[in-house]
Protein backbone atom coordinates (compact mmCIF):
# COMPACT_ATOMS: atom_id res chain seq x y z
CA UNK A 1 0.00 0.00 0.00
CA UNK A 2 2.65 2.44 1.05
CA UNK A 3 4.96 1.56 -1.82
CA UNK A 4 2.04 1.96 -4.17
CA UNK A 5 1.42 5.45 -2.85
CA UNK A 6 5.09 6.17 -3.25
CA UNK A 7 4.94 5.07 -6.88
CA UNK A 8 1.99 7.35 -7.41
CA UNK A 9 3.89 10.20 -5.83
CA UNK A 10 6.90 9.55 -8.03
CA UNK A 11 4.89 9.37 -11.21
CA UNK A 12 2.60 12.32 -10.75
CA UNK A 13 3.54 15.49 -12.54
CA UNK A 14 4.85 18.50 -10.70
CA UNK A 15 2.46 20.98 -9.15
CA UNK A 16 2.68 24.75 -9.36
CA UNK A 17 4.39 25.24 -5.96
CA UNK A 18 7.05 22.67 -6.86
CA UNK A 19 7.66 24.23 -10.27
CA UNK A 20 8.06 27.67 -8.72
CA UNK A 21 10.32 26.35 -5.97
CA UNK A 22 12.54 24.71 -8.58
CA UNK A 23 12.37 27.55 -11.12
CA UNK A 24 15.74 29.13 -10.32
CA UNK A 25 17.53 25.77 -10.36
CA UNK A 26 15.73 25.02 -13.60
CA UNK A 27 17.07 28.20 -15.19
CA UNK A 28 20.57 27.53 -13.92
CA UNK A 29 20.41 24.04 -15.42
CA UNK A 30 21.06 22.52 -12.01
CA UNK A 31 18.27 19.97 -12.25
CA UNK A 32 18.35 16.47 -13.66
CA UNK A 33 17.00 15.98 -17.15
CA UNK A 34 13.98 14.15 -15.78
CA UNK A 35 12.98 16.95 -13.43
CA UNK A 36 13.59 19.74 -15.92
CA UNK A 37 11.55 17.95 -18.59
CA UNK A 38 8.73 17.67 -16.03
CA UNK A 39 8.98 21.40 -15.44
CA UNK A 40 8.99 22.10 -19.17
CA UNK A 41 5.87 20.02 -19.71
CA UNK A 42 4.18 21.77 -16.78
CA UNK A 43 5.06 25.17 -18.18
CA UNK A 44 3.58 24.22 -21.55
CA UNK A 45 0.24 23.58 -19.88
CA UNK A 46 0.28 26.15 -17.10
CA UNK A 47 0.24 29.79 -18.17
CA UNK A 48 0.77 31.04 -14.62
CA UNK A 49 4.00 29.10 -14.15
CA UNK A 50 5.14 29.99 -17.68
CA UNK A 51 4.73 33.67 -16.80
CA UNK A 52 6.52 33.11 -13.50
CA UNK A 53 9.54 31.55 -15.17
CA UNK A 54 9.57 34.22 -17.90
CA UNK A 55 9.52 37.03 -15.34
CA UNK A 56 12.21 35.37 -13.27
CA UNK A 57 14.42 34.82 -16.31
CA UNK A 58 13.99 38.46 -17.40
CA UNK A 59 14.90 39.66 -13.91
CA UNK A 60 18.03 37.51 -13.82
CA UNK A 61 19.10 38.76 -17.25
CA UNK A 62 18.50 42.37 -16.26
CA UNK A 63 20.57 41.95 -13.11
CA UNK A 64 23.44 40.26 -14.90
CA UNK A 65 23.44 42.96 -17.60
CA UNK A 66 23.86 45.71 -15.03
CA UNK A 67 27.42 46.98 -14.62
CA UNK A 68 29.01 45.93 -11.39
CA UNK A 69 29.56 48.84 -9.08
CA UNK A 70 33.11 48.11 -8.08
CA UNK A 71 35.26 50.92 -6.77
CA UNK A 72 38.39 51.90 -8.71
CA UNK A 73 41.65 50.52 -7.30
CA UNK A 74 43.11 52.66 -4.56
CA UNK A 75 39.84 54.43 -3.97
CA UNK A 76 39.61 53.35 -0.34
CA UNK A 77 43.16 54.52 0.37
CA UNK A 78 42.67 57.90 -1.29
CA UNK A 79 39.44 58.36 0.60
CA UNK A 80 41.02 57.63 3.95
CA UNK A 81 44.00 59.88 3.10
CA UNK A 82 41.65 62.70 2.25
CA UNK A 83 39.58 62.14 5.35
CA UNK A 84 42.60 62.13 7.63
CA UNK A 85 43.98 65.22 5.80
CA UNK A 86 40.76 67.10 6.35
CA UNK A 87 40.70 66.09 9.95
CA UNK A 88 44.21 67.55 10.39
CA UNK A 89 43.25 70.96 9.02
ZN1 LIG B 1 1.71 25.78 -12.70
pLDDT of residue 11: 54
Separation CA 22–CA 28 (nearest Å): 10
CA separation, residue 65 to residues 51, 55, 59, 74 (Å): 21, 15, 10, 26
- Ligand 1: distance of its center to the CA of 68 in Å? 34
Q: Is the CA virtual torsion 60, 41, 52, 9 positive or negative?
A: negative
Separation CA 56–CA 53 (nearest Å): 5
17-43 per-position pLDDT tens digit: 999 999 999 988 999 999 999 999 999
- Ligand 1: distance of its center to the CA of 60 in Å? 20
pTM: 0.59
3-state secondary structure of 39: helix
- DSSP character at residue 89: -
- Ligand 1: distance of its center to the CA of 9 in Å? 17
Task: Tell whether the model's pLDDT for residue 65 goes beyond 90.
Answer: no
72-81 per-position pLDDT tens digit: 788 888 888 8
Amino acid sequence: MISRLFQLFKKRSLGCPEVRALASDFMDGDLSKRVSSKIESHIELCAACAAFVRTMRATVQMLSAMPRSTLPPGFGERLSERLSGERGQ
